[in-house]
């Protein structure tokens, strides 16, 4: 009888944990969307300003004539165009991020609206009353120990699942980062042709095409890192005392990359800076994944020992 009550509790507890996880994810996504919308508005304002600055350079003025004579006009124009390219890339990235987050929120709200979760809190209260009635008339010490063991088992099972999902998300993010790295390597090659071999229209066009391709690859990597960060947040909420991982740097990954690529996109030195940053992110990702794998191994060993102790109590 007690064993069946505990099994029902484990099933219900797992469902409650799953529901609460989805609720937390909904809250996190909503907060991320709020931040992204604010950044989108900020980047839009800056984009309009940079576009106006470039347009002003094309207008006639005595100062511009003087700058042309002194050779300063081209230098100023290159600086303004670089700033415009940087903010335009960031704006396109945040636009994609907003779209992704809005779709994620729609999906998560659909998941929250499941019929099996509507009565789960009432089922839990009913079960607790049944258990209380059983304990008063039976072996209280054994029941209390089983209670403790089943709670530990439920906690560790949930923790192991969250860690496994985070490890999987980490592997996906690593693949996306390597794709971005490969794409940037291609852009760097074309940038080398453009800079050192005279360039020309074809080389410049190919370089910009590769940078556009890199932009898409970077967005995919940013989305994967965002998912990984969300999974890490779940783990730290469940297992805060036993697991400490760095995750804040994953969220702002794309901003750093676009600062480097487009701040001086006529040279390949800035692309090298972006490549270095991606390699650093991959190293951080691998370090975090190793921590997760160590934690998962420890959880699984504890689950095995708990299973043995539960069996002994039930079979005695």
pLDDT above 70 (res 138): yes
Give the pLDDT score at 171: 93
Q: Which of 87-96, 111-120, 207-216, 236-245 has the lowest mean pLDDT?
A: 236-245
**Residues 286-302: what's their mean pLDDT?**
91
Say how many domains are in the chain: 1
User: What is the rounded distance in angstroms from the CA atom of residue 263 to the CA atom of residue 58?
Assistant: 21
The region of weakest confidence among 37-51, 123-137, 291-305 is: 123-137
- Expressed as residue numbers, the domain containing 78 is 2-315
- Please state, as a whole number, how many other Cβ atoms lie within 10 Å of the Cβ of residue 23: 13
Cα(311)–Cα(316) distance, integer angstroms: 8
Band the pLDDT of 5: cuts 50, 70, 90. confident
Return all residues near 269 (Cβ < 8 A) that are at least 6 apart.
none
For helices 2-58 and 120-136, what crossing angle results, to 10°? 150
The answer to whether the CB of 230 falls within 8 A of the CB of 154 is no
CA distance 84 to 6: 62
Measured in residues, the chain has a length of 316
Can you give the C-alpha Rg of the chain in angstroms?
Answer: 28
7 pLDDT tier (thresholds 50, 70, 90): confident
pLDDT at 167 > cutoff 60: yes
Confidence (pLDDT) at 125: 82
Contact assessment for residue 217 and residue 4, using Cβ atoms and an 8 Å cutoff: no
């Amino acid at each position: 009888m007690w064993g069946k009550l505990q099994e029902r509790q484990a099933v219900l507890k797992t469902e409650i944990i799953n529901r609460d996880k989805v609720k937390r994810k909904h809250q996190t996504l909503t907060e991320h969307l709020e931040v992204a919308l604010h950044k989108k508005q900020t980047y839009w304002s800056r984009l309009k300003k940079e576009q106006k600055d470039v347009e002003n350079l094309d207008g006639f003025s005595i100062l511009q004539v003087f700058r042309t004579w002194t050779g300063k006009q081209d230098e100023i124009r290159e600086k303004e165009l670089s700033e415009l390219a940087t903010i335009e890339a960031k704006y396109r990235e945040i636009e994609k991020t907003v779209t992704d987050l809005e779709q994620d929120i729609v999906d998560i709200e659909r998941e929250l609206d499941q019929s099996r979760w509507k009565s789960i809190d009432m089922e839990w209260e009913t079960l607790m009353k049944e258990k209380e009635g059983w304990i008063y008339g039976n072996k209280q010490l054994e029941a209390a120990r089983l209670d403790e063991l089943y709670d530990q088992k439920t906690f560790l099972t949930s923790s192991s699942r969250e860690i496994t999902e985070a490890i999987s998300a980490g592997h996906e993010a690593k693949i996306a980062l390597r794709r971005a790295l490969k794409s940037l390597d291609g852009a760097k090659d074309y940038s080398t042709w453009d800079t050192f071999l005279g360039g020309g229209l074809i080389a410049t066009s190919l370089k910009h095409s590769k940078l556009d391709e890199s932009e898409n690859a970077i967005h995919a990597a940013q989305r994967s890192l965002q998912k990984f960060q969300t999974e890490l947040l779940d783990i730290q909420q469940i297992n805060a005392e036993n697991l400490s991982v760095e995750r804040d740097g994953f969220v702002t990954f794309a901003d750093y990359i676009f600062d480097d690529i487009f701040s001086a996109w006529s040279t390949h030195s800035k692309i090298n800076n972006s490549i270095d940053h991606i390699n650093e992110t991959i190293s951080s990702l691998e370090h975090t994944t190793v921590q997760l794998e160590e934690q998962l191994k420890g959880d699984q060993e504890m689950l095995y020992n708990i299973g043995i102790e539960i069996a002994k109590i039930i079979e005695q």
